[in-house]
Chains A and B, each alone.
Chain A
């Protein structure tokens, strides 16, 4: 939980310092990071003394790239179809919904796993800025 709070604060600060990031984008980034971290803690580090989650935030002129690295159980891509929204509501918006939110709000999602951990990368493109 402390990690998620620290990540939210870091994203907030980065959004303030980088021109062209609107509050909605900042909110979506925080939500995506929070959902991804919750996934790692709930599934990746399940049944073990939880390890670290490392956040790397790359602010580029036209996009923001977020990479979360963890060292727990790896995930594998698969397509279970859209989550059952009714069931998800019954279960407190937990089952499969977090990832669904990330897919809805980010422009690119990549996942790779290897010797140096599991890397979940998502990219949010920024609208073209108007020249004054």
Chain B
């Protein structure tokens, strides 16, 4: 027991500095986390065995892809790993066909500078349904999911089809399953939490439902909820000035997300920036910044 507390400015580092896993790692304490950089230093086959746990088997099998061999009915490989030795980043890509635009799953993980694992990107989409080119502008340049450029026509079509900002196609309703597999992988590697930065309001809300809390941005989410209440600053800015700012949009997650994507946070002197979320492995944080929400 201690008498008082003092703010620590620098986080403490927990993982070892080893660049590569050696066989004797398996005989050390299983509670010590290992980094992606260490796993990436393994030979290809053990690396593949390790990362294979990240993919939910049913996600693959519904597209006829073997969860072990990653081969489809055509005998070709449909899953690719990028995990270069010496790098602290890994990604997994699943495609229904060799066509690069036919991506149905993409997951990118990275070691954080100090302690943990960050999800840089997670994409789960159903290429069998209608898709909208919200990710490219009229000249074919990437919009980086609408964060750099915007394709207004495609965004309008996507919104009317029930998609949220940042989505190109409907999802596969597999985020829960995917995050459960990610947690199982993290337990195996000795991590107790992971981080991500939500791209949109809708994704932040979804991750709240999946048990995430905020490292940064909880107050912003509370302010947004307050702003969309009748008569609030954001509610008043839903003035019909663009298709993405129609009165009443504040009642749904998607409506709010499109208005925020359209820059409505300027009305309260804020921007969608700097949010960071954390998921404690095995625990639901119970955060709910939009109580009783309708998606």
Contacts and interface: CB of A to CB of B under 8 A. Distances in A.
B293 to A, nearest CB: 16
A16 interface: no
Contacts of B12: 74, 113
A20 to B, nearest CB: 25
Interface in A91-132: 96, 99, 103, 108-111, 113-117
B274 A52 contact: no
Q: How large is the interface on B (under 10, 10 to 19, 20 to 34, 35 or more residues)?
A: 35 or more
A19 interface: no
Interface residues of A, number: 35
Given A110-B1, A115-B116, A117-B280, A75 B217 contact: no
Nearest to B212: A52
A76 B10 CA distance: 11
Given A71-B215, A109-B1, 4 more contacts: A49-B219, A52-B213, A54-B213, A111-B2
Question: Chain B binding site: helix, strand, loop or mixed by DSSP?
Answer: loop
Contact of B276 (A44, A51, A99): A51
27 contacts: A49-B275, A52-B213, A52-B285, A54-B213, A54-B287, A71-B214, A73-B7, A74-B7, A74-B12, A76-B8, A77-B2, A77-B5, A78-B3, A78-B4, A78-B5, A79-B4, A80-B3, A96-B4, A99-B4, A108-B1, A109-B1, A113-B12, A115-B33, A115-B115, A115-B191, A116-B192, A116-B280
Closest 9 CB pairs of A and B: A77-B2, A75-B5, A52-B213, A116-B193, A71-B215, A51-B214, A74-B8, A79-B3, A116-B192
Interface in B160-177: none
A44 B8 CA distance: 9
Interface of A: 2, 39, 43-44, 46, 48-52, 54, 69, 71-81, 96, 99, 103, 108-111, 113-117
